Amino acid sequence: MNRKTSVSRKTKETEINVHFNLDGSGKVDISTGIPFFDHMLTAFSVHGFFDLDINAKGDLEVDYHHTVEDVGLVLGQALSKTLENKKRIVRFGDSSVPMDDALSRVTIDLSNRPYFVYNFPDDLRVKGEFDTYLAKEFFQSFCVQGAFNLHINSYYGVNEHHVLESIFKAFGRSLHMSTRIDKNISGALSSKGTLL
């Protein structure tokens, strides 16, 4: 089963090229022009065992929003393409990851029904060069285009870097778990017989 794909998207605001391999080993080549975002995407890939190449150019002189959101859109499209009809996958994934002072849990259902829940410590809303709200925009875009339930719960943390890193690592681990092939599943894991 070939679960690799390439997706490109070009608008007046961004130009993004993604190569995504669900069954990789965590090899990355990521360049978005936003170093912290590159670091988070690397953590996602390494802990999800995905091979991921991203080349993104955006209007960073305006702000980071367009680039971060559009990378999420393209990654969601890539996930949908690699999973096609979602046959034989485990479907559900759940992972909790600590990072020093922070603890986050990410739960996924590859249900073909986008739904997004995001709970983040209130006192860490906007700090540093990479405003923390951008992570929410990324995950929402990924979730909608990837057509899955995504519940992100960051329980606590005092360092926004640690909180975000725990989220991205937990997201990688949960997505890895939910996309695995199970020999006991012959079609879609649903009492309806389909996830479409």
Give the H or E element holding residue 43: helix 35-48
**Predicted local confidence at residue 121, as pLDDT:** 84
- In order of their start, the domains of the chain are 4-179 (3.30.230.40)
Per-chain mean pLDDT for the chain? 91
* Span 107-152, pLDDT tens digits: 999 988 999 999 998 777 655 678 888 999 999 999 999 999 999 9
Both structure tokens of 180: 């695995």
Both structure tokens of 7: 């997706």
Which residues, other chains included, contact 43 with Cβ-Cβ below 8 Å and sequence gap of 6+? Answer: 165, 168, 169, 172
Other C-beta atoms lying within 10 Å of the C-beta of residue 186: 9
- When pLDDT is averaged across residues 163-177 and rounded to a whole number, the result is 97
**Predicted local confidence at residue 145, as pLDDT:** 96
**Predicted local confidence at residue 50, as pLDDT:** 97
* Span 71-92, pLDDT tens digits: 999 999 999 999 877 878 899 9
- C-alpha–C-alpha distance, residues 124 and 149, integer Å: 24
Q: Which residue has the higher pLDDT, 63 or 189?
A: 63
Calculate helix-pair angle for 160-179, 133-146, nearest 10 degrees.
10
